[in-house]
Amino acid sequence: MPVHHLTTPLTDTAVDALRSGDVILLSGTIYTARDAAHRRLCDALDRGEQPPFDLRGAVIYYVGPSPAPPGHPIGAAGPTTSYRMDSYAPRLHALGLKATIGKGRRHATVRKALAEHTAVYFGATGGAGALLAQRITAARVIAYDDLGPEAIRELTVQDFPLLVINDAHGGELYVTPQLPEGD
């Protein structure tokens, strides 16, 4: 499997070169957001407001980290199940979001949006939140502080280990049982 060292923000060229099964070591700035933050983000977009960070080239990590222990920027930071964000993801990809990070399979509408907008879905290892946190060098809340662990955070990562699950060409690495393709 090829190993790619990528730095955010991601470009179409970098994303287009990726294939399902590729190993990624990601560095730079990424953002956290889970269900409640996605709902608020899309509600704000519906009102014509700007998102709290530039979506163009951005990466969103589906995580609700635990509190930071003394001397660390963040606590355990393992991925959450991605399908809960599937109703929001196509809209965010259309606005320039280049990648999401989580665990589990994505709905067909998300996979279609990845192809249409040259974007990718990365898998992070579930159950390894403490190890993944070691690759996070800085963390700060930038929006929706009242959501606690689900607030949007800006993270700085160094060689954050990922696997390409869905690429921009329709490729998919099967890692979990197929989800129903409901409406």
Over residues 101-137, the pLDDT tens digits come to: 999 999 999 999 999 999 999 999 877 888 899 999 9
Whether residue 182 has pLDDT greater than 90: no
Whether residue 175 has pLDDT greater than 60: no
pLDDT at res. 177 = 52
pLDDT at res. 154 = 98
d(CA 115, CA 69): 40
- Start-to-end C-alpha separation, the chain: 34
The pLDDT tens digits of the residues spanning 5-32 come to 999 999 999 999 999 999 999 999 999 9
pLDDT at res. 173 = 85
pLDDT at res. 160 = 96
Smallest CA-to-CA distance from 131 within 176, 62, 78 is with 78
d(CA 161, CA 143): 25
Question: Residue range 62-81: average pLDDT?
Answer: 93
Q: Note the pTM of the prediction, 2 decimals.
A: 0.92
Cis peptide before 9 (omega within 30 of 0): yes
Tokens coding 98 = 């280049």
* Alpha helix (H) residue ranges in 8-155: 12-16, 35-46, 89-94, 108-116, 129-133
Smallest CA-to-CA distance from 109 within 93, 92, 86 is with 86
Per-residue CA distances from 117 to 2, 31, 67, 141, 147 (Å): 23, 19, 35, 28, 29
To the nearest whole percent, how much of the chain has pLDDT over 90?
A: 86
d(CA 81, CA 92): 18
Q: Which residues are catalytic?
A: 38
Q: How confident is the model at residue 52 (pLDDT cuts 50, 70, 90)?
A: very high
Q: What does the CA dihedral 21, 166, 173, 183 come to, rounded to 10 degrees?
A: 170
pLDDT at res. 43 = 97
The mean pLDDT value of the chain amounts to 93
Question: Residue range 38-49: average pLDDT?
Answer: 96
Q: CA 158, 171, 51 angle in degrees (round to 5)?
A: 50
* Of 174 and 12, the one with more pLDDT: 12
Cβ atoms within 10 Å, residue 31: 23
Whether residue 176 has pLDDT greater than 60: no
**Do the beta carbons of residue 1 and residue 21 sit within 8 Å?**
yes
